[in-house]
Amino acid sequence: MSAQPRTASLPQGAAVATHEQVLRPPVAAQEDRRDLLRFITCGSVDDGKSTLIGRLLWDAGALPEDTISALARDSLKHGTQGENLDFALLLDGLSAEREQGITIDVSYRFFSTPRRKFVVADTPGHEQYTCNMATGASTAQLAVLLIDARKGVLVQTKRHSRIVRMLGLRHVVIAVNKMDLIGWDANAFARIEAEYRRFAVELGFSRIDFIPLSALHGDNLLHPSEKTPWYHGPTLLSLLETAEIAQATDEALCLPVQWVNRPNLDFRGFCGRIAAGTVRPGDRVRVVPSGASSHVERIVTLDGDRQTAERGQSITLVLTDEIDISRGDVITAYDSPVECADQFQAQLFWMSDQPLLPGRSYEAKIHNRRVGAQITEIKYRIDVNSGAHLSAKSVSKNEIAVVNLSFDRPVPYAPYQQSRALGGFILVDRLSADTLSAGLLDFALRRSSNIHVQAVDIDRSARESQKLQKARCLWFTGLSGSGKSTIANLVEKRLYAAGKHTYLLDGDNVRHGLNRDLGFTDADRVENIRRVAEVARLMVDAGLIVLVSFISPFRSERASARSRFAPGDFIEIFVDTPLAICEARDPKGLYKKARSGALKNFTGLDSPYEPPSDPELRIDGAAASAIEAAEHIVERVLEKGHKD
């Protein structure tokens, strides 16, 4: 490194091509032995994160000459620093980022010094893109959190602090930026430090460092600034070079299986990245969840067989025995503590514009396994300012909550604080495939290991044979007044007359008993359908033809209900009647009440109805009579519903 910070003015013309050499000379044999630190920059919008990283890369001589040339051109075209280089443009690569002057996506950069290698994630500060910040933090080991010296500790500062702590980071560097704009006021710096320390007490960081700096001018980045004679701490780069990287010791092997490699009949290997521990040929291993055991025969890589492999390496294991292993299983040391469970306490950072609703069915991706998931209870939401635990029936975008989580099958796991690989997960919308939330597992609930499926001798097949019918669920959906209950009642009468064993679950009737505690909020509607779907599933298991007549306004809940049944056992019947006709009928006077304001959250008016996209049957409620519709449905059921 040079003794002084480098000039940051724009090179002129051809001078760009002859700029001083910025690539470090290669470090000989010791280079590969330098450790790697992954860190993020985070904080509120416009605190100077991109500028800080860009200036750090410039001063550290980590920019190739073609990048410098491009930066010079871009600074003239898009820059905000007049005749000087705009370092933020090194990180803000999207056109929208340059137009708006903010970071939207996560930008990763690699650089190195003689002491250490680094991967830095420059993350957005805008609240709208907090989910991208969480993505960057999920793989980091340290956070550099910027605070604008003029603004102090903001709500977004606190939100980012809670997210990085939630994701397991224990060391945070508070970079109080733009000190030049407040005249390098030592008292203002001290006030910011005191305020942040008071806030961070409950977060339990193991180390917090504070640095006054100007990212734009390079003060206290690589070299101590003469403008802060009152600051006697390290520079930012010095802190990054000496920050302790937690090294796992004596960890048991943990290899989540990503792919079963079977190129021919003579080779069967299990591919994945080692999440913890080491492995050698001859080691005895165990497969979770099956519990089968074997020994390692070979460790295969692109560079040939290895005699040892360790955490972070991608390998293929060949075992001595032919045992059943699939994607999503975990290969562990024989005495590893990795267990399986299906119910957990978890922490969630909610990323979606659609609120989290307990009981709604989601898909979870945990290591290399995909499973169905439901939030069974929101225990509390965390106030980002005070850390207070607040009661909540739903969770909105950018909020953090502690919940009880249920998967539809046991999964190999470890608490997130022990293993990011086995304790971290995301929730995905089943229909849109959008990522909704990042989450981490705290611990398995005792009920997960104490409740087991009880084997019974009389099963569904026996009950169907006794009744001489094929059990199934006929799910009627449509607006209030569409005619679905009338049609469902006629269908049951005809099936009963044909000697079939049936039961009708009607929305109004169920709310008098099983669901009398539920209202009509979105969260209560979700729980209403969840309970009814479970009851319908039990009735189908009992060998009955069960008819369910519910508005069931949300596609996701109907999809969740369908997922509880075997293929072909769930018939969705959409009674498609226009709103105007339903309102004209208004058999219960509900539309009139809703129009007058006496009835809130009424489906079709101030609460949405999402029509089925591909139902098994669609009934035109405006053209067909209830009798005609019922006869058509019965023909369909009797045609395909007899017991072979």
User: By the 8 A CB rule, do 55 and 87 touch?
Assistant: yes
Annotated catalytic residue, options 161, 482, 485, 552: 552
Nearest to 471 by CA among 570, 563, 572, 573: 570
Which residues neighbour 80 within 8 Å (Cβ) at sequence distance 6 or greater?
Answer: 86, 88, 101
Q: What is the CA radius of gyration of the chain?
A: 31
Alpha helices in 383-483 (DSSP H): 420-423, 446-450, 460-467
Closest of 161, 159, 166, 152 to residue 194, by C-alpha? 152
- 334 in helix, strand or coil? coil
Cα end-to-end distance, the chain, whole Å? 82
| SS3 assignment, position 184 | coil
CA 568 to CA 289: how far, in whole Å? 30
CA distances from 434 to 103, 225, 555, 614 (A): 21, 46, 15, 20
**Separation of alpha carbons 310 and 92, rounded Å:** 35
Distance CA 482, CA 487 (A): 10
Query: Is 552 labeled as catalytic in the residue annotation?
Result: yes
CB 40 within 8 A of CB 119: no
- What amino acid positions are annotated as catalytic residues? 552
